[in-house]
Amino acid sequence: MGKPSGFLETDRQPGVKLPVDERIKHFNEFESNVSDSVLEEQASRCMDCGVPSCHAYGCGVKNRIPDWNDLIYKGHWKRALALLHSTNNFPEFTGRVCPATCEASCTLSINRRPVTIRQIEKQIAERGWKEGWIQPQPAEFKTGKRVAVIGSGPAGLAAAQQLVRKGHNVTVFEKDDRIGGMLRYGIPDYKIDRSVLDRRLNQLIEEGVSFETQVDAGIDVSAMYLSRSFDAVVICVGAQIPRNLVIPGRGLNGVHFAMPFLTQQNKRNAGDTIPENEAITAQGKNVIVIGGGDTGSDCIGTSIRQGAASVTHIYYQDVPPKERALCNPWPEWPTTFSTSSSQEEGCERFWKYQTKEFVGANGNLTGLKVAELDWTRPADGSRGTYTEIPGSEKIIPADLVFISIGFQHCEHGPLLMDLKLELDKRGRVKIDDNQMTCLPGIFAAGDAELGASLVVRAIYSGRQAAAGVHQYLMSERTLKLKENESR
């Protein structure tokens, strides 16, 4: 690397977050960028690793992290942007919302603080937009092939952009009223401002991608229509089936899945009005969030910004260790104790609680009955067992509970059923090495084939599917089949 001693001379310096009492007053992004000169010094911390783990094991989209870190240290920002775009269509998205598994795999993280990879990625992209380096790249030649992309989340957008740049005519069908999928309606605005999404969508439109909103594929347009009207179809629907918590009182008013709550707030931020009989709001209420992960954390931050009286976060797991357990070595993602930015903003956290019953009166939620658990773990820290502590039951007062315990798979609706696609035991669409399903010309990407996953992995999956589609469409066998069909 350009400065092999950089990690010895420079300490980690990420962007600065607004103070809690300021940022909870709004839904704007609250983490600042560092100066270009500071970022170049931060990039110098990237070590001359023998076998870097950040870009292979640690990065879902296989970003060439050491290479663009070196370019940034040397001041070659435009070249760094080109290298970043060679693996990632949307670095300004992942630079904001990715959990930065790459940083957990950074060699420095073994005994020091890792390189600020996510911050560097974000600022490379933002510099590109500021300087006008990011421009539409329409294909020079058209193939005449038509491709339908179902779903406009990160996988669908990545697939669409890759395919339109290959010269194919691409139409994206989205069942919601706006484009973006999870990026639009699933992630709070304080993590990614919607203008960041919209400017990239404008690039795709200028490159030739067509978007059709409020079209539910399989219902508004049939599977037969899609297969006959397009040369290939890429299914990029999200994993929208949440895991339920089936305990007594589940039907009480005030018990909700997490995602409708988050979606409603994003729609309010966009100027939409939520019908009063459908509105879910935390204002003035005692809120409990069940389950960890980003979605649960987002419910906390959103509830606090809405003016909740209190927010409580409960987990059934034991308290994670402060350091890596023996069963969780580097470069794996560390299952250690951490505090999210939303949790910093003010919530009470309880571990080792088993949810027993939603308690209510007159059909409305009044509390959550829980019992304490006694966890026993092996010496290596691997997953243990638990028993309920007799007599430990208690009721936590609550007016609103959000269930955030993960997602199962994409919806197995008319589209998948009419196509008769094969599914695995976890409900994911089965694909081959080119991401084609059991039907020729029908591909799957993102959550449809991964299950609920990260934005960065969805982008990679969309890119891989696009490569498979292009290979399929341009192969001699496919061209001959299409020629025979047209006769």
- For the chain, what is the domain count? 3
Residue with tokens 């589940």: 250
Residue spans of alpha helices (H) in 372-474 = 414-419, 447-450, 455-474
pLDDT score, position 229:
98
The pLDDT > 70 percentage for the chain reads: 97
pLDDT score, position 381:
84
With respect to residue 55, please indicate whether it lies within any of the assigned structural domains: yes
Q: Is the pLDDT confidence value at 77 over 90?
A: yes
Q: Region 58-86: what's the mean pLDDT?
A: 98
Q: Which of 53, 43, 56, 52 is nearest to 7 (CA)?
A: 43
Pairing of strands 385-388, 364-376: antiparallel
Give strand pairing partners of 353: 372
DSSP strands (E only) in 295-419? 310-314, 348-350, 353-361, 364-376, 385-388, 394-397, 400-403
Q: How far apart are CA 473 and CA 487, in angstroms?
A: 18
Q: Region 49-59: what's the mean pLDDT?
A: 92
pTM, entire model: 0.96
Q: Is the pLDDT confidence value at 146 over 90?
A: yes
Residues 6+ apart with CB under 8 A from 72: 39, 40, 43, 80, 120, 124
With respect to residue 187, please indicate whether it lies within any of the assigned structural domains: yes
Q: Region 215-226: what's the mean pLDDT?
A: 98
Q: Are residues 355 and 397 in the same domain?
A: yes
Report the CATH number at residue 80: 1.10.1060.10
Separation in Å, CA 415 to CA 150, 241, 390, 450 = 10, 15, 49, 18
19-29 pLDDT tens trace: 999 999 999 99
pLDDT score, position 479:
61
Q: How far apart are CA 105 and CA 60, in angstroms?
A: 12
Name the DSSP class of 292: -
50 confidence band (pLDDT: 50, 70, 90): confident
Give the domain-ending residue among 99, 131, 163. Answer: 131
Q: Are residues 60 and 173 in the same domain?
A: no
379 confidence band (pLDDT: 50, 70, 90): confident
Q: Are residues 157 and 88 in the same domain?
A: no
Q: Are residues 359 and 268 in the same domain?
A: yes
Q: Are residues 118 and 180 in the same domain?
A: no
Q: Are residues 68 and 193 in the same domain?
A: no
With respect to residue 185, please indicate whether it lies within any of the assigned structural domains: yes
With respect to residue 357, please indicate whether it lies within any of the assigned structural domains: yes
Kindly report the number of other CB atoms within 10 A of residue 69's CB atom: 30
485 confidence band (pLDDT: 50, 70, 90): low
With respect to residue 101, please indicate whether it lies within any of the assigned structural domains: yes
Q: Are residues 399 and 414 in the same domain?
A: no
Given a contact cutoff of 8 angstroms between Cβ atoms, the answer to whether 457 and 261 are in contact is no
pLDDT score, position 292:
87
Kindly report the number of other CB atoms within 10 A of residue 340's CB atom: 18
Domain that holds residue 91: 6-17+33-131
Q: Is the pLDDT confidence value at 481 over 70?
A: no
Q: Region 294-303: what's the mean pLDDT?
A: 98
Q: Are residues 56 and 76 in the same domain?
A: yes
The pLDDT > 90 percentage for the chain reads: 93
Q: Are residues 114 and 152 in the same domain?
A: no
Q: Are residues 10 and 118 in the same domain?
A: yes
Q: Are residues 150 and 167 in the same domain?
A: yes
Q: Are residues 363 and 473 in the same domain?
A: no
Which comes out higher in pLDDT, residue 253 or 4?
253
- Comparing 260-264, 315-319, 473-477, the range with the smallest average pLDDT is 473-477
With respect to residue 139, please indicate whether it lies within any of the assigned structural domains: no
Given a contact cutoff of 8 angstroms between Cβ atoms, the answer to whether 355 and 370 are in contact is yes
Separation in Å, CA 171 to CA 23, 147, 232, 245, 316 = 39, 6, 11, 38, 44
With respect to residue 469, please indicate whether it lies within any of the assigned structural domains: yes
Give the domain-ending residue among 88, 107, 131. Answer: 131
With respect to residue 11, please indicate whether it lies within any of the assigned structural domains: yes
Q: How far apart are CA 78 and CA 208, in angstroms?
A: 25
Give the domain-ending residue among 70, 97, 131. Answer: 131
Report the CATH number at residue 303: 3.50.50.60
pLDDT score, position 192:
98
Given a contact cutoff of 8 angstroms between Cβ atoms, the answer to whether 469 and 445 are in contact is no
> What's the mean pLDDT when you consider all of the chain?
96
